[in-house]
Amino acid sequence: MDKVFVNLGSSSYEIFIGENILSNVGKFVAGKFTKILLVTQKNIFDAHGKSLTDGLDAEKISYTVAMIPDGETSKNLREAENLYTRAIEFGLDRKSVVIALGGGVVGDLAGFVAATFLRGVGLIQIPTTLLAQVDSSVGGKTAVNHALGKNLIGAFHQPKAVFIDLNCLATLPEREIKSGLGEVVKYGVISDEKFFAYLEDKAEKILQRDAETLAHVVKRSCEIKAEVVGEDERESGLRRILNFGHTLAHAVEEQTRYEKFRHGEAVAIGMVGAARISCELGKTSAANVERIEKLLKRFGMVTTCDGLDAEKLFAVTFRDKKTVGGKVNWVLMKNFGDVEISGDVPAQVVKKIFGGLCRDE
């Protein structure tokens, strides 16, 4: 079993990565926490819940399983309230822990409940999608959506531990693997050319879900995220580089009502946009942009947003919650592993690049 340490002072924790490791969660919980609210979805629990609950049973830990419906629409205050009710009825106390077994939807909702119930109880993340393993389960961001916008209500709440069982990826639909790969490619761009080259080299193996290759991909991604989060827990500086590709991605997701693209797919388009803007401003080379586009295409990802309206996309970037004082903070690329934040990208440059992406160029 591999470990990645997330260094956050008294909130530090470990990410455990390996195959068939869910039965170890019971040992981790035993003696530390009194009761467990296990939040999951039916298909995930059916496929992967047993070794987890066997491990809890072996330690005689008291738990209750709360299923939430599938889909982004579950990430709302009503579902959170249902979970609070379950927690109260089950007698969850301050020394209890919420376990999130699932993708980013389960992780964000269960994490939000853990952050707010009794002003905060423990949280253990068991991410089961590639996106959740490399991104959403690490870093402590939790949230639910509001009818007027995504992730608008939330809290920072670091988990006590993250257990990444690589076996969970075996049952994941192909599209969800691709979505996770969007974030994985991002890590190569923002912080590690060697990792980017590894992804280029091993693209085929990754798509075949070769266990050893995926193990490295997940571990390296977690290391990079842990490093960034360790430097800047509350996103006041460095952590913003994790938003590479996200300014346009959020606009594309909003304009397609979160129905057409999975998050990582939108990030792929967004990264191409950010890289092209960087090139247009003379910050990076056309060859670097080409390399990113080529890798994304090898992973079978769409890299344009054909048919969307560039003007509308541009307007939406100003509504992003990351926009501060009316300025859109673009994460621009200079080289692999070398990015910068810029609050003054000229509107005509952004519109030109968006225009190209909307015409499928």
Ligand X SMILES: NC(=O)c1ccc[n+]([C@@H]2O[C@H](COP(=O)([O-])OP(=O)(O)OC[C@H]3O[C@@H](n4cnc5c(N)ncnc54)[C@H](O)[C@@H]3O)[C@@H](O)[C@H]2O)c1
- For the chain, the C-alpha Rg in angstroms (whole number) is 20
What residue type is 168 in one-letter code? C
Is residue 259 exposed (0-12), middle (13-18) or buried (19+ Cβ within 10 Å)? exposed
* Piece of 86-94, 166-174, 243-251, 351-359 that binds ligand X (CB under 6 A): 166-174
Residue among 35, 219, 223, 243 flagged as catalytic:
243
The residue ranges of DSSP E strands in the chain, in sequence order, are 2-6, 13-18, 35-40, 62-67, 97-102, 122-127, 141-146, 149-156, 161-165, 330-335, 338-342
Q: Which of positions 172-191 make contact with ligand X (CB under 6 A)?
A: 172, 176, 179
Instruction: For residue 72, state whether it binds ligand X (rule: CB under 6 A).
Output: yes
Among 341, 138, 326, 124, which residue's Cα sits nearest to residue 221? 138
Catalytic residue among 250, 262, 283, 291: 250
User: Contact at 8 Å (CB) between 47 and 76?
Assistant: no
**Interface positions, 264-293, toward ligand X (CB under 6 A):** none
Q: Which CB atom, from 279 or from 316, has the smaller least distance to ligand X?
A: 316
Query: Of the listed 225, 262, 283, 291, which one is catalytic?
Result: 225
> Are 125 and 157 contacting, i.e. CB atoms less than 8 angstroms apart?
no
* 146 is an active site residue: no
Binding to ligand X (CB under 6 A) within 76-135 occurs at 102-106, 108, 128-129, 131-132, 135
DSSP 67: E
Segment interacting with ligand X, rule: CB under 6 A, options 37-45, 208-216, 310-318, 336-344: 37-45
Binding-site member from 44, 203, 295, 350 for ligand X (CB under 6 A): 44
Q: What is the contact surface with ligand X in residues (CB under 6 A)?
A: 41, 43-44, 47, 70, 72, 75, 102-106, 108, 128-129, 131-132, 135-136, 139, 141, 151, 168, 171-172, 176, 179, 263
